[in-house]
Chain A
Amino acid sequence: MEREGGDRLVESVESTRVRARRVGALARWLDAMPYAALGGAALAAARGLVWPSGALDPALAGTPRAAILSACGALATAAIAALVAYRRARMPPLAAARAIDAHLGLTDVVASGHALSRDAAPGPAAALAIERARRAVSALDPAAVFPVTAPSWRPRRALLGALALVVGVAIGTLDGAVVSALVTPPTPEERAAAEALEAAARALEEEIEAREETRAPRPDPARTPDPERAADRALAAQARAAAAAAQRGDRDAALSALRAIEAAREGARERARSTRDSLAALASALGAPPRATGSEATPTAADQARELARLLRPRADEVDPATDAQRRAEERRALERLERAAERAARRGEDGLAEALRRARDALSGGDRDGAAQALEGAAGALDQLEDALAEARSALARRASLDALAAEVERTLQLARLGRETDEGEDADAFLDPRRGSGGPPSEGASSGTGARPLSAAILDRLTALGLAEGPTVSPRGSGGGPRRTGRPERAVPVERAAHAPSHVERAGTRAVAALEGLGRSGDPSEALREVYPSYGVDAEEALASERIPAARRRTVRRYFESIRPDQDREEVPR
C-alpha cells in the first residue's frame, strides 16, 4: 500500500509538472509575441540588404518582398520564442509538488512527502509524511489545478505589434537603390549621358529594323538565326536598361547592365578575332606560291582554295612527260596543303570545312583530281561564308562603337557620382582621373605624350593653372582641337591643358587639393613647393588607389599622373 501510495504521489507530481510546464510555456510564449512582431519588422526593414530588388522597380518590388520577409521573420521569431519558452518553463518536481501544496493550501505536505518518498527516507515520521502526501493528492486533478486558459486579448500589445510590422514593411519597401537615389539623386551629367545612351539604343533598334526590311527573307529564320541581329537587340535592350537605371538613380543596376554590355562587346570582338585567325590560318595552309598576276589584294582563304582547285583541274598538257612530273609535284604539295588545312580547320572547330578538305585530300590521293577540285570548290564556298561572317561581325562592332562609347561615358558619370564629386570636387576628380581627357583623342593616346614628357615646372604650372591657383597661359593647348569629344558632359570635362581658357574666377580645386597646395603657385619656384607637398600628396594617392573607390580602369591613369608629377629625378616608368 505504501508503495502504491508512493507511485501515486510520483505520478501526480509528474503530471502536474508536465501540465505546469505547458501552461508556463504558453504564457511565456504569449508574452514573447511582441518580440515576434519586432523580429518580423526587423527582417522586413532589412529587406534592402537581405533581398534587394535590383533592377526592378523598387516601389513595387519592395513591398511584397518586405511583407514576405516580415511574415518569415515573425514566424521564425515566434518559433524561437516557443522553443525558449518551453525550455525555460521547465519545472522541477519539487516546484510542482510545492505548487500542489499551494493549490491545496498545505504547508509542504506534498513536497516533503514526495521528497521523502523519492529518497526512501526511513522512520515512522517519514512514512506518515508520505502517507499524508498520498492522501492529499488522491483526489487531485492536475488539469484542474493548472488549467490551460485561453490567451487574453491585449489590444494595446496587438496594436503595437501591428504598428511595428507596418513600419518594418514600410522601411523594407525602400531599397538601397531607392535610398541612394533619394540621398544622391542622379546628376544632370548622369541624366544627359543616360539620355544619349537611350537615344543610341533606340537608333540601333531602328537600324536593325531597317536592315531587316531591306534584307531578303531568310528561308527558315527559326533554323538559321541571325546571331548579330540577336546580339544587336540584346545590346540595345541592355543599353536601354542601363539608361533607365541611371536616370532613376539606381547606379548598381546601371553599372551591372553596363558590365553586361562590355562583356557582350568583348565577346563579339573575341568571336571576330577567332574567325579572322581561322581564316588567316586556313589561307596560310592553303597558300600556293603567289602568282604573278599583279593583283595587289592579299588572297583570301577562299581564293586560295579556288586557286588550288583550278590547279587540280585536268589540263590538256597532261600527256607531256615534263608537265606530268610537274603535275605530280603539284599534287604532292596540294596534298600537303590539304592535309594541313583540314587539320587546322578541325582544330578551330570548322567541322564542315574540315570534312570538305578531307574529301578533297582523299580524292586527290586516289588520283581523282576532278573530284578533289569539286570538293575544294565546296570548301571555298564554306570559306566564303566565314568571310561573310567576319565582315558581318566587323560591321556589327562598328555599328555598336558609338553605343559603346556612350555606355563608357555613362559608366564614368556613375563612378564619379559614386565618388561623391558631382560638384566642384567632381570636376577636380575628373581632371585628376584623366588629366588629358578631351585633348583630342582617347586617354591612351594622350598618356603617351603626357605631362611626364614635359618639363616638370611646366607640368606643375599646368596643374596649378587648372586648379585656378596660378596665373598665365603657360600651357600650350596641345591637342585641343583633335578628335571628337566623348559625349555626355562636355562642359564639365575641364582638362588640364585647357584650363587656361577657363574663367579665372571659377574655383576648380577640390578641398584637399586646395589644402595641399595652399600658398603655392603665385610666386616662388613651383617645383620646390611641389617637393614639399608631394609626400602627403602621394600618400593620399596611394591610399585612394588601394581602395576600391577608383574604378579599376582609371587606376592606371591616376597612378601615371602622380608618377608624372613626382619631383624625384629617378621616377619609375609606369607601364601602360
Chain B
Amino acid sequence: MSRAAEASYPSRPDESGPLPSAEAFERRLEEGRRLGEALLAGLSDAIHGQQATLTHVVTCLLAGGHVLLEGAPGLGKTQIVRTLAALVDGSFARIQFTPDLMPSDVLGTSLVSTDGDGRRDFRYREGPIFANLVLADEINRATPKTQSALLEAMGERTVSVDGRPRPLPDPFFVLATENPIEMEGVFPLPEAQLDRFLMKLVLGMPSLEALTQIGARPSEPARPAPITDTVTLARAAQTARHVAAAPHVLSYAARLVAGSHALPEVRYGAGPRAVQALMACGRVRAMLDGRPAVGVADVRAVAPHVLGHRVVLGFEAEARGRRAPDVVGALLETVAEAP
C-alpha cells in the first residue's frame, strides 16, 4: 500500500496501521503535537495577524484535507502556502488559474517522444498537481471543466490519464484561493463540489497590532528552513486518525450535521461527509492539544469552517444578508453539547 493511500482522507479514512500500546501512542501523540506546534510557529513567523487561520491550515494539513482560502488580495494567502511548502520538505507547485487553463495543464498530458533508437511513443508528462503541496491560485477564474479536473483529483487522490490511474504523492495538500471581490470573468465553484475542501477559511483584515508588525518588517521574510519531511507528516496524520472519540462527541457531530437540515434559513444542509470532516479536524485539534480523545470543544471550534461551505442558504436568508458562518453559529447555539 502506498503512503498516499495510507494517509488519504476521506476516501480511505480507516486504513491505518495498529498502534502497539498506550505508551507508544502517547509518544506519537507528543510527536504530532510538537510537529503541529513547530509548523504553526514557522507559519506565524512569516504571517502576522492570521493565527486562527494558520491553526486551521495546519489542522487541515494533518487531517489530510484541502483548504479553500477566500480573501482579498494581499492578505497572505499565497504566502501561507509558500511558507508551508518551505517548512515541509516536499514538492510544491503553484497553478495560476485563468479562463484559458486546460485540464491537461493541471493534470499533465501524454506527449509524443522519440527515444534513442528513434522509436516514437507517448510519454506521460505529469502536471503540476503531482506535488505534495499545491497552490491553486484564484481557482474561480478557471472554467468549470478545469475546476472539475482539479476537484476530482483532490477527491480521488488519483489522476487517470490514458486509462491508467496515477496516484498523487503523499501528503497531497491543495490550498486553493479565490478572490471574492471581482465578479466579472469568474466561475464560482459548484456547491456540490465544495465539500472536496475540508475547510473553507475566510481571511479577514489583520488587527491593528498585526498591521503594525507587518509594517515594521523591513522586507519579505526569508524562506524558512524545512522542519519536517513528508514521512513525519504522514505519521502525524496517522496518529491523529487514531485519536479516540467518545460516543457523546460523535453524537454531537452527527447532531450538528443533522441540525443543519432543520434550520429554516438553510436550503440544503451538510452531507454525511461533513460528520467525517468534523471528526477528522476535531481529532487533529485534540492531537495538537496533546489529548488522546477528541472533545466537544474541538468539534465546536472547527464546525464553522467545516460546515460553512457545506450548507446552502435559502433565498430569504441571502436576501437578508445572512452568511453561512452566521447560520452555523446559530446552529452551534441551538444544538446541545450533551445529548
Decide if A and B are genuine partners: yes
With A109-B291, A112-B295 given, is the CB distance from A124 to B242 under 8 Å? Answer: yes
With A107-B295, A108-B296, A112-B293 given, is the CB distance from A124 to B247 under 8 Å? Answer: no
Query: Which residues on the B side are within 8 Å of A108 (C-beta)?
Result: 246, 249, 293-298
Query: Which residues on the A side are within 8 Å of B24 (C-beta)?
Result: 124
Question: What is the distance, in angstroms, from B291's C-beta to the closest C-beta of chain A?
Answer: 7
Q: Select the stretch in A127-135, A284-292, A337-345 that faces chain B.
A: A127-135
Instruction: State which residues 196-251 of B face A: CB under 8 Å.
Output: 242-249
By the criterion CB–CB under 8 Å, are B293 and A116 in contact?
yes
Question: What is the distance, in angstroms, from B303's C-beta to the closest C-beta of chain A?
Answer: 15
By the criterion CB–CB under 8 Å, are A126 and B244 in contact?
yes
Question: What is the distance, in angstroms, from B254's C-beta to the closest C-beta of chain A?
Answer: 15
CB of A23 within 8 Å of the partner chain:
no
CB of B138 within 8 Å of the partner chain:
no
Instruction: State which residues 133-188 of B face A: CB under 8 Å.
Output: none
How many Å lie between the Cα of A103 and that of B249 in the bound state?
19
Query: Which residues on the B side are within 8 Å of A119 (C-beta)?
Result: 247
Q: Mark B285-296, 1 if CB is under 8 A from A, else 0.
A: 010010111111
By the criterion CB–CB under 8 Å, are B244 and A111 in contact?
no
Which residue on B lies nearest to A92, using beta carbons?
B338
Query: Which residues on the B side are within 8 Å of A132 (C-beta)?
Result: 291-292
**When the two chains form the complex, which single residue of A115, A125, A128 contacts B247, counting CB atoms closer than 8 Å?**
A115
With A107-B298, A108-B297, A112-B249 given, is the CB distance from A125 to B338 under 8 Å? Answer: no
Query: Which residues on the B side are within 8 Å of A95 (C-beta)?
Result: 338
Query: Which residues on the B side are within 8 Å of A94 (C-beta)?
Result: 248, 338-339
How many Å lie between the Cα of A116 and that of B293 in the bound state?
9
Instruction: State which residues 76-105 of A face B: CB under 8 Å.
Output: 92, 94-95, 98
Query: Which residues on the B side are within 8 Å of A115 (C-beta)?
Result: 246-248
By the criterion CB–CB under 8 Å, are B292 and A128 in contact?
yes
How many A residues are at the interface, by size bracket? Answer: 20 to 34
How many Å lie between the Cα of A539 and that of B22 in the bound state?
94
Which of B21, B248, B292, B338 has the largest number of chain A CB atoms within 10 A? B292
CB of B279 within 8 Å of the partner chain:
no
By the criterion CB–CB under 8 Å, are A125 and B244 in contact?
yes
By the criterion CB–CB under 8 Å, are A111 and B246 in contact?
yes
Q: Mark A382-418, 1 if CB is under 8 A from B, else 0.
A: 0000000000000000000000000000000000000
Query: Which residues on the B side are within 8 Å of A107 (C-beta)?
Result: 286, 289, 291, 295, 297-298
Query: Which residues on the A side are within 8 Å of B19 (C-beta)?
Result: 123-125
CB of B307 within 8 Å of the partner chain:
no
Query: Which residues on the B side are within 8 Å of A125 (C-beta)?
Result: 19, 22, 25, 242-244, 292-293
By the criterion CB–CB under 8 Å, are B246 and A128 in contact?
no
How many Å lie between the Cα of A109 and that of B295 in the bound state?
7
Question: What is the distance, in angstroms, from B290's C-beta to the closest C-beta of chain A?
Answer: 10
Query: Which residues on the B side are within 8 Å of A126 (C-beta)?
Result: 244, 292-293
Q: Mark B324-339, 1 if CB is under 8 A from A, else 0.
A: 0000000000000111
**When the two chains form the complex, which single residue of A111, A121, A127 contacts B248, counting CB atoms closer than 8 Å?**
A111
CB of A113 within 8 Å of the partner chain:
yes
Which of B25, B243, B249, B293 has the largest number of chain A CB atoms within 10 A? B293
By the criterion CB–CB under 8 Å, are A109 and B247 in contact?
no
How many Å lie between the Cα of A123 and that of B244 in the bound state?
8
Q: Mark B40-68, 1 if CB is under 8 A from A, else 0.
A: 00000000000000000000000000000
CB of B105 within 8 Å of the partner chain:
no
By the criterion CB–CB under 8 Å, are B338 and A128 in contact?
no
Which residue on B lies nearest to A125, using beta carbons?
B244
How many Å lie between the Cα of A233 and that of B337 in the bound state?
81
Question: What is the distance, in angstroms, from B240's C-beta to the closest C-beta of chain A?
Answer: 10
By the criterion CB–CB under 8 Å, are A131 and B22 in contact?
yes
Which residue on A lies nearest to B21, using beta carbons?
A124
Query: Which residues on the A side are within 8 Å of B89 (C-beta)?
Result: none
CB of B31 within 8 Å of the partner chain:
no
CB of B257 within 8 Å of the partner chain:
no
By the criterion CB–CB under 8 Å, are B22 and A124 in contact?
yes
Query: Which residues on the A side are within 8 Å of B118 (C-beta)?
Result: none
CB of B26 within 8 Å of the partner chain:
yes
Q: Mark B5-30, 1 if CB is under 8 A from A, else 0.
A: 00000000000000111101110010
Question: What is the distance, in angstroms, from A457's C-beta to the closest C-beta of chain B?
Answer: 79
How many Å lie between the Cα of A265 and that of B2 in the bound state?
115
Which residue on A lies nearest to B295, using beta carbons?
A108
By the criterion CB–CB under 8 Å, are A113 and B242 in contact?
no
Query: Which residues on the A side are within 8 Å of B337 (C-beta)?
Result: 98
Question: What is the distance, in angstroms, from B283's C-beta to the closest C-beta of chain A?
Answer: 9
With A116-B246, A123-B242 given, is the CB distance from A129 to B292 under 8 Å? Answer: yes
How many Å lie between the Cα of A113 and that of B338 in the bound state?
15
By the criterion CB–CB under 8 Å, are B246 and A112 in contact?
yes
Query: Which residues on the A side are within 8 Å of B297 (C-beta)?
Result: 107-108
Which of A92, A112, A113, A132 has the largest number of chain B CB atoms within 10 A? A112
With A94-B338, A123-B242 given, is the CB distance from A109 to B22 under 8 Å? Answer: no
Query: Which residues on the B side are within 8 Å of A92 (C-beta)?
Result: 338
Which residue on A lies nearest to B285, using beta carbons?
A107
With A109-B293, A129-B293 given, is the CB distance from A124 to B25 under 8 Å? Answer: yes
Query: Which residues on the B side are within 8 Å of A98 (C-beta)?
Result: 337-338
Query: Which residues on the A side are within 8 Å of B339 (C-beta)?
Result: 94
By the criterion CB–CB under 8 Å, are A116 and B244 in contact?
yes
Instruction: State which residues 41-97 of A face B: CB under 8 Å.
Output: 92, 94-95
Query: Which residues on the B side are within 8 Å of A112 (C-beta)?
Result: 244-246, 248-249, 293-295
Query: Which residues on the A side are within 8 Å of B247 (C-beta)?
Result: 115, 119
Which residue on B lies nearest to A101, using beta carbons?
B295
Which of A98, A123, A128, A132 has the largest number of chain B CB atoms within 10 A? A128
Query: Which residues on the B side are within 8 Å of A111 (C-beta)?
Result: 246, 248, 295-296
Query: Which residues on the B side are within 8 Å of A124 (C-beta)?
Result: 19-22, 24-25, 242
Query: Which residues on the A side are within 8 Å of B295 (C-beta)?
Result: 107-109, 111-112
Which residue on B lies nearest to A98, using beta carbons?
B338
Instruction: State which residues 106-163 of A face B: CB under 8 Å.
Output: 107-109, 111-113, 115-116, 119, 121, 123-129, 131-132
Q: List 26 A-B contacts (CB under 8 A).
A: A94-B338, A95-B338, A98-B338, A107-B286, A107-B291, A107-B298, A108-B249, A108-B296, A108-B297, A108-B298, A109-B293, A111-B295, A112-B244, A112-B246, A115-B246, A115-B247, A116-B293, A123-B244, A124-B24, A125-B25, A125-B243, A125-B293, A126-B293, A127-B22, A129-B246, A131-B22
Per CB-CB distance, the 5 closest pairs between chain A and chain B, nearest first, are A108-B295, A112-B293, A129-B293, A115-B246, A124-B25
Query: Which residues of A does B touch, CB under 8 Å?
Result: 92, 94-95, 98, 107-109, 111-113, 115-116, 119, 121, 123-129, 131-132
Q: Please name 13 further chain A to chain B contacts, defined as beta carbons within 8 Å, in addition to the given A95-B338, A127-B22, A132-B291, sorted by A numbering.
A: A107-B286, A108-B249, A108-B298, A111-B296, A112-B295, A121-B244, A124-B242, A125-B25, A125-B244, A128-B22, A129-B291, A129-B293, A132-B292
